[in-house]
Chain A
Amino acid sequence: MYEASPFEFVEEIDTKLTPAWFVDNTHKPELADAVGMNWAADLSPYGFGWAAEKLSFPTCRGIIWRCYKNLRFMISPLVIEDPEEIKRRREKFRDVIIWLADNFGPEWEKLKTEIMERYQPFREFDYANATAIQLARMIADIRHLAYRMIEIHFWALYGSLSFYSLFQEFCREEFGIDGSNKDFNDMLGGLDSKILQGERELWKLANMVRKLGLLKQFAAPAREVAPAIRGTANGDKWLAALSDFLDEYGFRCELCWVQASPCWRDDLCYAIEKVQHYLKREDFDPFKQMEQTKENRDIAVAKYRKIISPDKRELFELLLKGAQYADMVNQEHDFYCEMHCDAFLHMAVLELGKRFAQAGTIDDPYDVFYLYIDESRKMAPAPERWHLQSLINKRKAKAKEDLAKGIPDVISETMSKEEAYDWMVRSRDPNIIYTLVGELPKAQPELGADIIGMPGATGIAEGPACLIMTGEDLDKVKTGDILIAPTTGISWTTVFALVKGAVLDRGGALSHAAIACREYGIPCIVNTFVGTSQIKDGQRIRIDGARGAVYILDKS
């Protein structure tokens, strides 16, 4: 992708192969590395296509994919245009939906068990003491494992998100409400997930800090905390609890799909940083929050159960049950799918990088992430017989140069941005519409807002804007701020316990930030496109989640 490669986006060729390309802003604002790009190119289109075929999704066969510079994935939906084909697929899809309504939950449990069993040898593998040859084999095994992982990943997402689309359509017709309505979102909230469970464990670790009298040590930067408390009775007690937590939840890289980013098990400071976020807010209780979300759900569901006409009740219940999985699976699949595989790949590649650095192939072990994994594997048998630093330096320089160029949201030869979005929506693919690309907000001059985005979570909030461009700056966030960011990733979840609301440049109704805000009961606006460029850090703003409106209150 740094050199000429079929995955590299070439405007002259690629804009003729599909009507429009969209930048994928899922999972994190940070840029991918070579390993991550290569990995996603290998897995995502396959998983998308596999699940669309398996479920007979009527109007989309998945995505095609290119690498835009070394910066981002560009995607384009494989929209099905032939009405006969749509009809054929739709008929099968109806039976799939009816089957899934009763079986999605148990099936998802079965798949989680299957994948965790498959992960076991990879969790137990001794990466640190493996030889380069063993690591080369391990990387091949991880890729094989990841093929199954991505099938499960997209099966679960297509399944649950399709219910979300159908339920929204049903609610529009029957009740006149959709994703911008609090009741609608309330009905779908309150299902526990492995991600929320992990957050509650972090919160418990924060309470333990208070109980053990370690607050003073935790006021230091995250990196200094573990050395400061190690060797003291209470410090060791806390670190033992952290170690238990990491055994369960530590197989994750700080950034999703960025295997160069550190793994929580190897570098304690990432989990410690999350604990520090929870220490900032004493009154937050995720257990109470969970109860509140459940209560809101039950109230909303009871309300619409009352008004739904009796002959449509069965369909209402069927779609509701399926759609309630959408938020949950959309969060939880990260834990069961990419997080583990990211971590395994990170550990294997980094260890290989260490062997390479020892052999003089590269200078720094982390430079290995500037190599495609197939390149690294080929060098593994005799790394000392390769000298790659000049290639690495060239790639690093190119990355820096490309970054300065910026990334377009949409690339099309024939369509305006609006037309491109209209075309994309014809895919009806909920992964694309509600997560990867999001919807285009409509102008609403009557609101008199400074910025308009799409509703992510309802509610109104006012407070100082806190501009965060990457996950590294997250400790800047103060209680009561309104988060302004390009997009967010799963590792940002803790800050949603602190902020009053969030405004994201990119994202859809089922993006990480939108779901997290709904779980935490705060407003969220996504796909403003211009939030981070127009809102200044510290500026007072008011946001109205249901309308997607941002008001800048002090424009000085």
Chain B
Amino acid sequence: MDGKQALWFEEIGQESFNLVGKKNANLGELTKLGIPVPRGFAVTIKAEEAFLNETGALQTIRDMVSQAGDLRNISKQAKLSEAIRSMVESKEIPAAMKAEILNDYHELSAKSGKSGAVAVSVRSAGSQSHPGQYETVLNVTGDKQLLSMLKKVWSSIFNKITIAKLVQKGIPIDQSPAIGVGIVEMVNARCAGVGFTIHPISGDLANVIIESTWGLGEGVVGGKINTDRFVVDKASLKIVDKTLGEKKLQVIAEGNQVIEKEVPPEKQAVYTLSEEEAGAIAKIGMELEAHFKEPQDFEWAVDDSWKFPNNIFLLQTRPVVGVKDQKKKTMEEQLGELLERLF
């Protein structure tokens, strides 16, 4: 194996997406920018390729595929997916790679300032953006669990959706592109959610729209929970509109599990964010938008272990797709509107 299998976020940037995957590259870029993101490191795309090669998993996959026959049948795809994944997850990670990853994990635990092994999320990061396609596992603690969850994320490049897509495009299953994996310190989330620096429907760019709920952001991302909604004016960073969500459920990390739990009524009735927190989240969104030069859809969390303004963390960001193009006005049109306002 050449080079390092794991790279700290500080060591990577936007240009590293082919090396570590897009989400990791972004987190690296944001770390460099000084935006508060959780600490962590990326397991490279090459590491998964090496893992699949060196363990012989790739060859096994080819054999399994050829035995499976016609794959246009969805239940066949599902069966194959299951078989491949459990086979992949049963392989031992090569010793040198394992040592390097665990070494970084131990260093991350030490940096976290908490005693013992630090809880992390193990996040998939493709070299292209495929939101939700691959696995991400939260609240992972300890060497053994880390390695097994890493393999679980790795094997998700052979999940049902991916296999269906590959079949549709006529790409051999064993050529499913490998992914990078982010090992990211868990945020002790009091509340979390998403933010949009553009109105997802109207395309209005004046405000940042924030959706927020108690506990982990998975509740918002999954769309299951009726969230609080804040509209923050970009110029003043003040809340110009807010709607209280029902928030009957929250997603929390309990032990090694992520579970849905009921929210006590008194917490359902109050807003999850203060004005200054909403403003600070919006400000991060605007910085992201300015840096990446297009509207962003970002995930954030408020960490209960810290005090404002150090309690706000960005988890990930990506460009808002689909809204911008249809609503974007040319500079000439904007100037025309400005002239009409003034004259």
By a beta-carbon cutoff of 8 Å, the part of chain A in contact with chain B is: 58-59, 86, 90, 93-94, 97-98, 165-166, 169-170, 173-176, 305-315, 318, 428
Contact = CB atoms under 8 A, between A and B. Distances in A.
Interface centre among B206, B292, B342 (most CB of A within 10 A): B342
Contacts of B235: 174-176, 307
Interface in B296-343: 324, 328-329, 331-332, 334-336, 338-343
A309 B342 contact: no
Contacts of B342: 165-166, 169, 428
B331 A166 contact: no
17 contacts: A58-B339, A58-B343, A59-B343, A93-B339, A94-B339, A97-B339, A98-B335, A166-B339, A166-B342, A169-B341, A305-B290, A307-B234, A309-B234, A310-B295, A311-B295, A313-B293, A318-B335
Contacts of A318: 331, 335
A446 B316 CA distance: 46
Contact of A86 (B332, B336, B343): B343
B331 A314 contact: yes
B294 A310 contact: yes
Contacts of B89: none
Given A310-B293, A312-B205, A90 B341 contact: no
A311 B205 contact: yes
Nearest to B324: A311
Interface string B129-170: 000000000000000000000000000000000000000000
A307 B294 CA distance: 12
Contacts of A169: 338, 341-342
B339 A90 contact: yes
B331 A310 contact: no
Chain B, interface size category, equals: 20 to 34
A175 B234 CA distance: 8
Contacts of B329: 311
B38 to A, nearest CB: 23
Given A58-B343, A169-B341, A309 B289 contact: yes
Contacts, number: 73
A430 to B, nearest CB: 10
B287 interface: yes
B320 to A, nearest CB: 11
Interface centre among A98, A169, A306, A310 (most CB of B within 10 A): A310
B88 interface: no
Contacts of A311: 205, 295, 324, 328-329
A90 B340 contact: yes
B290 A306 contact: yes
A549 to B, nearest CB: 23
Contacts of A97: 335, 339
B236 interface: yes
B286 interface: yes
Interface in B254-305: 286-287, 289-290, 292-295
B338 A310 contact: no
Contact of B236 (A176, A309, A313, A428): A176
Given A308-B290, A309-B205, A315 B331 contact: yes
Contacts of B339: 58, 90, 93-94, 97, 166
A64 B235 CA distance: 40
A260 B4 CA distance: 82
A90 B205 contact: no
Contacts of A58: 339, 343
A544 B24 CA distance: 50
A314 B328 CA distance: 12
Contacts of A428: 342-343
Interface centre among B328, B334, B336 (most CB of A within 10 A): B334
B47 to A, nearest CB: 34
Nearest to A312: B334
Given A305-B290, A311-B329, A94 B197 contact: no
